[in-house]
């Protein structure tokens, strides 16, 4: 082989950075179908996240608590601003809103049971409240979404708190799309739509258009419930500093900020990957806004979007959140992307089912198809049997319990008797990006980029 | 005692709503008159008792919002979102109504004697709306079920992205929205319009109305419907 042939061979194998395999597939698909991709779950791209922070455990300058002996309180109270009946939770880890329709009824029941056993809350989703989830959830947050599918005053009265959803971290500014294959007779009835059609969800509420209207909308919900229930406002993370300020102005008791790592049942991939800001950045902006208004602690803050572990929870609390909400982590705990499921006490392989979807365990993001191999995001009666409420509740309870144990262990290591005493002082950043976004010093320095 | 007055110039709105929610039925009150509403927001929201509420003047946002049981009459104009998400019962606005009248209503009957502004009947989910005058643009946007009868004219983009709801219009339609089309009136349409007009207290001839419904071309994701959604 002469020199020229060597060079040509090398060039033949050199991938283009701008047009890699992924972007080529995207262009080939767009050219073939003339359609954008709709999929479930959250962003696949690497984003700065809680792993880019570390907790500064106590040594000499701080005094730790005995990990296996001393108690660390986790009680969390939400909605103390106006509501006469604030929410009292045993742990600061809540379950994020996910709809019946996106999830099976068995899963909704599993969420309620696990949350109740651990003394935390679960949340409805687009599509309304099911009897099973109300019955199984001691504390249930009822979402008021732009689509208003299944929204009704009886359920408002039966809820423990009301969450006005303005946006989701996976798709700020966008509506949803529940594809026809997931529209069972029950889902269709709850949403007052024909069976089998692709259901578009609106991106903005039908009866208010801006923050000044929202003030009155919130008053309506308060009047409607005699000022008993906390009102949450959930925003997708984008211009979070201003959005949080406006939510406070509108009268929120609790603000939920959902970062870019948040999941969805189904939306355009271009939204999931390209709209919004990472959870770290959003959390810092939200806390800044509350501090700026002197409302920190008066309006509680829930952060969601890529909270996966007890360490993530500890770091979120240290950054200034009062609680976290978990969606995707909950689905994984239930068995999402597992290679097997349990039916009638026997373990079965799900590998063929993943293969039929064109994917494999560990890579699946096919919630929008309704053919979930492990029975979570489906309305197919047979597939839904693959996750019965007993098993779902047990797995989820174990997961949340583990997170809480990790949270308290880490808090004690930082010398805290109460997880809500974790503070920014307890954190450092591992990367310059995380340091800049979270406004924390780079580990081992006192340097905060930009400050 | 079967009737009672609340003067909002002297009594906080919260007292009125609390009374309607918690005490009206126990005290056997069947009619409540609201004096000096002066555009107050959220009057009689969440009413869930067989009480007739007469609002003697103009109401602000969300009057009779989420009504379940009872009847509310506004002897004046209504602000944004009158009767939003009502489930059943009847709301009658004697004057004009602002934007989003009857938004996402699931049931019941909303009657507006005058005109309504933009987005009347947006996301309607099963209620009936009869408007004596004209409606503004984007009325019936994404309406899923239920019926709208418009005795006057309709603004731009009427019935955009309709699902199963049906809109009857007597006057001119400035433009139809995506996927909306005019269809032949059938006998059952004439009957439905006649019944709704009678319930609302109007005496127009149903034969003067045309029917607007969904062409259903957007019911399934369609690559060729660029910008139509
Ligand atoms: S396993 Fe089920 S829940 Fe998980 S990504 Fe696939 S379809 Fe969605």
Q: Which residue of B has its CA nearest to A175?
A: B229
Whether residue B123 and residue A206 make contact (CB cut-off 8 A), yes or no, is: yes
* Per-residue pLDDT at A368: 83
Tell whether B33 lies on the interface with A, counting CB pairs under 8 A.
no
Ligand 1: lining residues by beta carbon, under 6 Å: A 40-41, 331, 336-337, 364-367, 372-374, 376-377
Inter-chain contact B80–A208, Cβ cutoff 8 Å?
yes
The model's pTM is 0.95
Q: Give buried/exposed letters for B171-197 (b at 16+ CB in 10 A, else e).
A: bebeebbbbbeeeebeeebbebbbebb
pLDDT score recorded for residue B224: 66
Cβ-defined contact of A192 to B84 (cutoff 8 Å): no
Res B23: pLDDT: 94
Q: Tokens in use for B127? A: 């209620």
pLDDT digits (tens, 9 = 90+) for A57-99: 999 999 999 888 899 999 999 999 999 999 999 999 999 999 8
Residues of chain A neighbouring B123 (CB-CB closer than 8 A): 147-148, 202, 206
Residue A345's region, left for phi above 0, alpha for psi from -120 to 50, else beta, is: left
Q: What is the model's pLDDT at position A188?
A: 85
Residue B228 has pLDDT above 80, yes or no: no
Average pLDDT, rounded, for chain A:
93
The verdict on B116 touching A (C-beta cutoff 8 Å) is no
Q: What are phi and psi of A238, to 5 degrees?
A: -145, -90
> B106 and A192: CB-CB below 8 Å?
yes
Coil, strand or helix: which one is A267?
strand
CA A105, CA A384: separation in Å to the nearest integer? 8
Chain A contact for B84 (CB, 8 A cutoff)? yes
The better pLDDT of the pair B101, A176 is held by B101
For a mutational test of ligand 1's pocket, the pick from A179, A338, A376, A396, i.e. the residue with the most ligand atoms closer than 8 A to its C-beta, is: A376
| Mean pLDDT in residue range A346-354 | 95
Report whether pLDDT(A2) > 80.
no
Shortest CA gap A199–chain B (Å):
8
Residue A146 has pLDDT above 80, yes or no: yes
Among chain B residues, CA nearest to A146: B123
Using CB atoms, pick whichever of A33, A153, A177 lies closest to residue B66. Answer: A153
Judge whether residue B147 has pLDDT over 70.
Answer: yes
For residues A133-166, one letter each, b for 16 or more C-beta atoms within 10 angstroms of the residue's C-beta and e for the rest, the string is: bbebbebbbbbbbbbbbbbbbebbbebbbbbbbb
The pLDDT value given to residue B223: 60
What is d(CA B215, CA A337) in angstroms, rounded to the nearest whole number? 40
Question: Does B54 score more than 70 pLDDT?
Answer: yes
Report how far Cα A352 is from the mean position of its chain's Cα atoms.
29
Q: Tell me the per-residue pLDDT of A406-444, one tens digit each, with 9 for 90 and over.
A: 999 999 999 999 999 999 999 999 999 999 999 999 999
d(CA B214, CA A9): 59
Instruction: Round the average pLDDT of chain B to a whole number and report it.
Output: 95
Tell me the count of A-B CB pairs closer than 8 A: 115
The answer, for B219 touching chain A at a CB cutoff of 8 Å, is yes
Is it the case that residue B156 has pLDDT exceeding 90?
yes
């Amino acid at each position: 082989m002469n020199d020229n042939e060597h060079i040509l061979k090398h060039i033949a194998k050199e991938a283009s950075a701008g047009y890699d395999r992924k972007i080529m597939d995207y262009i080939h698909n767009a050219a073939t179908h003339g359609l954008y991709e709709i999929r479930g779950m959250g962003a696949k791209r690497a984003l700065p996240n809680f792993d880019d922070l570390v907790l500064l455990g106590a040594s000499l300058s701080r005094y730790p608590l005995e990990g296996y002996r001393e108690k660390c309180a986790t009680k969390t109270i939400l909605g103390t601003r106006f509501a006469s009946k604030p929410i009292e939770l045993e742990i600061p880890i809540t379950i994020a809103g996910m709809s019946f329709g996106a999830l099976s009824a068995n899963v909704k029941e599993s969420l309620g049971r696990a949350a109740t056993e651990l003394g935390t809350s679960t949340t409805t989703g687009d599509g309304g409240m099911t009897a099973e989830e109300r019955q199984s959830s001691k504390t249930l947050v009822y979402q008021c979404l732009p689509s208003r599918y299944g929204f009704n005053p009886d359920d408002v009265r039966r809820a423990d708190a009301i969450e006005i959803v303005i946006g989701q971290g996976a798709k700020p500014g966008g509506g949803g799309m529940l594809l026809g294959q997931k529209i069972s007779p029950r889902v269709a009835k709850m949403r007052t739509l024909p069976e089998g059609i692709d259901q578009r969800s609106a991106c903005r509420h039908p009866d208010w258009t801006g923050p000044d209207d929202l003030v009155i909308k919130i008053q309506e919900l308060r009047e409607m419930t005699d000022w008993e229930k906390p009102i949450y406002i959930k925003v997708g993370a984008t211009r979070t500093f201003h959005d949080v300020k406006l939510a406070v102005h509108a009268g929120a008791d609790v603000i939920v900020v959902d970062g870019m790592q948040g999941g969805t049942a189904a939306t355009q991939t271009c939204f999931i990957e390209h709209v919004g800001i990472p959870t770290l950045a959003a959390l810092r902006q939200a806390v800044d806004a509350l501090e700026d208004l002197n409302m920190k602690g008066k309006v509680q803050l829930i952060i969601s979007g890529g909270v996966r572990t007890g360490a993530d929870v500890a770091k979120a609390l240290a950054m200034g959140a009062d609680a976290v909400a978990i969606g995707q982590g909950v689905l994984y705990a239930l068995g999402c992307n597992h290679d097997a499921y349990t039916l009638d006490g026997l373990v079965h392989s799900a590998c063929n089912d993943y293969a039929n979807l064109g994917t494999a365990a560990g890579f699946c993001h096919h919630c929008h198809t309704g053919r979930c191999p492990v029975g979570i995001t489906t309305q197919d009666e047979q597939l839904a049997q693959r996750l019965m409420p007993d098993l779902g509740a047990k797995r989820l309870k174990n997961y949340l319990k583990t997170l809480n144990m990790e949270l308290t262990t880490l808090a004690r290591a930082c010398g805290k008797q109460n997880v809500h005493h974790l503070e920014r002082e307890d954190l450092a950043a591992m990367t310059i990006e995380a340091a800049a976004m979270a406004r924390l010093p780079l580990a081992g320095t006192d340097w905060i980029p930009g400050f | 005692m079967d009737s009672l007055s609340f003067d909002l110039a002297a009594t906080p709105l919260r007292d009125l709503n609390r009374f309607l929610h918690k005490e009206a039925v126990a005290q056997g009150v069947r009619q409540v008159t609201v004096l000096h509403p002066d555009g107050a927001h959220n009057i009689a929201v969440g009413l869930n008792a067989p009480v007739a509420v007469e609002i003697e003047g103009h109401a602000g946002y969300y009057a009779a919002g989420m009504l379940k049981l009872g009847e509310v009459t506004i002897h004046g104009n209504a602000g944004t979102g009158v009767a939003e998400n009502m489930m059943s019962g009847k709301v009658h606005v004697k004057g004009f109504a602002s934007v989003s009248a009857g938004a996402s209503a699931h049931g019941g009957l909303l009657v507006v004697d005058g005109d309504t502004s933009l987005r009347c009947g947006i996301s309607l989910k099963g209620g009936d709306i009869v408007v004596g005058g004209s409606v503004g643009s984007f009325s019936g946007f994404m309406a899923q079920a239920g019926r709208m009868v418009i005795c006057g004219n309709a603004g731009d983009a009427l019935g955009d992205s309709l699902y199963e709801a049906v809109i009857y219009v007597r006057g001119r339609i400035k433009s139809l929205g995506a996927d909306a089309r005019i269809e032949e009136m059938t006998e059952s349409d004439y009957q439905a319009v006649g019944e709704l007009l009678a319930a609302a207290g109007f005496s127009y001839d149903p034969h003067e109305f045309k029917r607007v419904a969904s062409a259903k071309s957007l019911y399934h994701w369609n690559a060729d419907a660029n910008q139509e959604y």
